[in-house]
Structure 1
Amino acid sequence: MKRIVILRCLRSNNVCTGAACMRAFNTKSGAFARYGEEPLELEAYWSCNGCGDCHFKYQEGIEEKLERIIRLKPDAVHVGVCVKQRTQDGQVVTCKKIEEIC
């Protein structure tokens, strides 16, 4: 059995229900298709502490989150598509805070 963790962007909290990630996990579609028939267990569904004008005042809390995730000993950490941001010139880039966490 593979132990899976999903990381998402705090900014997405305004509009995201987590349904797309959960559907992909439960149906083993998208990034989860790689596991085939292997059983999966979702260990955590967590978010970063934000960036820019969207963040918790307690940024150090991310270290505690990371320690807790590491203690879970997941086989994989999947990162939601919500971590992608479109720049003013139309490029799609990964959030720098998420890159730091990863």
Structure 2
Amino acid sequence: MKNIGIINCYNVSKRCSSSGCFKALYNETGSFERYKGEGARIISFVHCNGCGNQVVNQFLERAERMVQRGVDVIHLSTCVRSKCPWYDEVMKNLSEKYEIEGYSHAKKNSK
């Protein structure tokens, strides 16, 4: 079983229940499909501190604390992938040191 940590977007968290991330985990869809047959559980779920010039360092600090507490794989939430202007830089820096998945679930259809 893999221990998962998710980092979501602080700004989006003000209006999002994070149910999409949890639903994807429990249904083994989206980025969690890779754990079929192995199992996964979320042991850490945090958000960034919002936009600013220290975003990359904030993600790195959170990732380090997650790993110290037993997280095997860190998933950035789908909202980070779709909304964060520093997403590429965050992914680059995190993936140099940690096992990273760049999203959590499929984007919702806007109907």
Map 1:4-83 to 2 at 5 A: 4-52=4-52, 62=58, 65-83=62-80
Task: Give the TM-score of the pair, scaled to structure 2.
Answer: 0.65
Gap regions ≥5 residues in structure 2: 95-111
- Counterpart residue type for residue 49 of structure 1: N
Shift in Å, 1:40: 1.2
The structure with the largest alpha-carbon Rg is 1
Cα RMSD of the aligned pairs, angstroms, is 2.5
Gap regions ≥5 residues in structure 1: 53-58, 86-93
What percent of counterpart residues are identical? 29
* Aligned equivalent of 1:88: none
- Counterpart residue type for residue 23 of structure 1: K
Instruction: Quote the Cα distance in structure 2 between the aligned partners of 1:34 and 1:43.
Output: 17
Q: Which has the higher strand share?
A: 1
How many equivalent residue pairs? Answer: 87
Deviation string 1:4-54 (CA, Å, 9 cap, x unpaired) is: 1111110112211000000001111111011112121211011111115xx
